[in-house]
Amino acid sequence: MIKRQLKSFSVVFSAHKSVKGYTLIELLVVLSILTMLSSILVVYSRTGERQLILYKDQAKIINSIIRAKSLAVQSFSAGENVCGYGAYFDQSGKIIIFKDLSNDCLSSDSVYSGPDEDVQTDQLDGRLSFSSLDFNSVLFIPPDPIILFDGQNSPGVKNIIISGGGDSVVKVAVNSAGQITAVSGK
């Protein structure tokens, strides 16, 4: 009887032992699925990060232009001796808000002339660049304000296009009335 009980206990124990755990193939399948999902997540987060950087710098450009416009209106109401305020965009990715200084505003060059005119300087993210600039500077002359692109009054819409590599592109459009529009994509 004791032998019989030991034998039945042995059968029960060995049955439990063979059911427990996973096979090597099952583990490899699970690991490969996890690896695939992780790689998709990493690629997706990199693309999302690039888009966020693009939108952040697009907002930076728009804010610089709006700030220059508001400074121009403030300078007229404050009676300052400044011909106007503008935003200058350098191919290296610099964004400079400047004041147009001149003894006589009628004979002013109406463009960015150097560091003496700097009000604020900002920089695009190092991974981004200006892929297209229809103008290098926009100047707002109070009180209207009158809008000059590169020192000239030119009608139409002027664009700044920022590229983050690949298909990642955003655009800032400024028209001759000073309206600023943000456009995503090409």
pLDDT tens digits for 105-116? 777 888 888 888
Q: Is residue 16 part of a domain?
A: no
Q: How far apart are CA 55 and CA 161, in angstroms?
A: 12
For range 161-175, the mean pLDDT: 82
Q: Is the dihedral of CA 70, 110, 90, 166 positive or negative?
A: positive
Which residues are CB-neighbours of 176 under 8 A, at least 6 positions away? 147, 149, 153, 154, 155, 156, 157
Looking at the structure of the chain, the number of domains it has is: 1
Q: Is residue 17 part of a domain?
A: no
Give CA separation, 146 vs 32, 102, 141, 152, 181, in Å: 63, 17, 5, 10, 18
**Which CATH number belongs to the domain containing residue 64 in this structure?**
3.55.40
Please give the residue range of the domain that contains residue 168: 24-184
Torsion of CA 100, 105, 111, 113, to 10 degrees: -60
Q: How far apart are CA 74 and CA 185, in angstroms?
A: 34
On average, the pLDDT of the chain sits at 82
Whether the predicted pLDDT of 124 surpasses 70: yes
Q: What is the pLDDT of residue 9?
A: 54
- The kind and range of the H/E element at 15 are helix 2-19
Three-state helix/strand/coil letters over 20-75? CCCCHHHHHHHHHHHHHHHHHHHHHHHHHHHHHHHHHHHHHHHHHHHHHHHHHHHH
Contact 160, 61 (CB under 8 A): yes
Q: Is residue 159 part of a domain?
A: yes
pLDDT tens digits for 39-76? 888 777 766 788 888 889 899 999 999 999 988 888 76
Identify which of 56, 117, 124 has the alpha carbon closest to the alpha carbon of residue 90.
124
